[in-house]
Chains A and B, each alone.
Chain A
Amino acid sequence: MFDVIVFFLKEGFLIFRKNWKQSFAVAFVIALIAQILLGFELSVEELKRKLDIALSEDEAVIWFEDESALKGLDVRKVFAPDEVRKMLGDLIGDIGDVALPRVALVKWREGLDRVEGIRAVYRDTAKRVFFSKLRQLFLKYALVFRILFIAVVMIIAFIQIRISVFAHATEIEIMRLVGATEWFIKWPFVFYAFFVAVTSILISVLMWMGVATAFDFSFVIPVKVLARVCVVILFSTFVSALLSV
């Protein structure tokens, strides 16, 4: 098995070396596209973060019986009885000397209405629904963009691998002639695609470092985002190789 993997690696590298100019050109184009994806992924992360903050800052007004109900809650404000009386008066008119419950503004969390001692929970759900919908919509479009990116990388890699396949027609003919299975014929090209992908990732990293150095950017690209871009490049080229031979 080890010998077979070494053989695939060698053959993949030979294909890369034989067409090194084209291979580098394709890797460079993929790296350029990766910059667009990286910028997009960074925007996605930033917007997601802001939306998550907006959602996490969602607040609720609770009516409670005594202070023990507030235990464990993120209390933003406890209203004084006079304040409550004034607010209700503004809403429904004079309420006289009716005994009022205690009122507090707390950070929203799931299950708040089931906390012992809390009689009622009131929230501005419209804001939450808006941000949730915005987040869902945004992620949906982000997914479409990623699929589009994968498709573009796949098409570029597919064309390049097909060219390599034609350039290695003799080798493929001999492989078939001597009894190599179709899978065995595919794998050198899969490894070739892997080398192209790794080259494009290296070029991408150099570009990111170059940009960061040139503009003295203080931000650090999150590893998660980098990993996502790399996985997309590897996945796209891998699938292209499987489809193109």
Chain B
Amino acid sequence: MSFPIIQFYNVSKVYTNGIVALSNISLSILSGEFVFVIGPAGAGKTTLVKLIYAEEKPTSGEVLVDGRDVSKLKKWEIAFLRRNIGVVFQDFKLIRDRTVFENVAFALRVCGFSENFVKKATEDALGRVDLLHKRGMYPDQLSGGEQQRVAIARAIVNKPSILLTDEPTGNLDPYVSEEILQLFEDLNKEGTTVVMVTHNAGIVNSRDYRVIALQDGIKTRDDGKGGYRYV
């Protein structure tokens, strides 16, 4: 049974330097959906993602995640909200001086989980991304695709219901990008809602998922089925 897990009601975001990142955006994403967010650089895609995981607050309008208005959450409530949201970035954001296992386990340890649980969950997550055999290696010893898989393992280790990915294939070659996308699709089939911000026309065109297009902070398109074009 699907329900709206992410809802934007007339959301605008103007940064303090006057830049209008989003203008009057309304949308609804259902649980278990796979959504591409596309648009040229500066269209407001990253801001949209940041609003979902409460890194930014809307200037006006409401952003509801799992029915809760994120702009009204207290700091500790935001922390708990984020435990239910996995985020993957283009630049991986891995800690260079920690092993693959330590990077993934870090996400659980900082949430105060017991070491037994951390060990088991981390091994499960690394198994999911097929990197268990590289658990003792450091990020710099891995390829770009492997580093991104570590970042994905870290994002899913908490078993979040939403996975936000901001240009996750931006630094990867087409073959590896396809692998990463398949990983997201597997997670989506298990019920995780996936929001994928991308510039990769090939990936978007290869699937029939919903596409939301942004341009200059305005939603220009919201199609139930794919295709990479802005308008």
Contact = CB atoms under 8 A, between A and B. Distances in A.
Interface string B104-135: 00110111111100100000000000000000
A4 B112 contact: yes
B20 interface: no
Nearest to B97: A18
What's the dominant secondary structure at chain A's contact region? Answer: helix
Contacts of B81: 179
B112 A184 contact: yes
A182 interface: yes
Interface in B181-226: none
Nearest to A174: B93
Interface residues of A, number: 19
Interface residues of B, number: 25
A179 B82 contact: yes
A185 B53 CA distance: 18
A176 B53 CA distance: 10
Interface stretch (B1-9, B23-31, B72-80, B169-177): B72-80
A3 B82 CA distance: 22
A174 B106 contact: yes
A25 interface: no
14 contacts: A3-B118, A6-B115, A174-B110, A176-B82, A178-B107, A178-B110, A179-B80, A179-B81, A179-B158, A180-B79, A181-B76, A182-B75, A182-B76, A184-B111
Given A6-B115, A174-B93, 14 more contacts: A171-B95, A174-B106, A174-B110, A178-B110, A178-B111, A179-B79, A179-B80, A179-B81, A179-B83, A180-B110, A181-B75, A182-B75, A182-B79, A184-B110
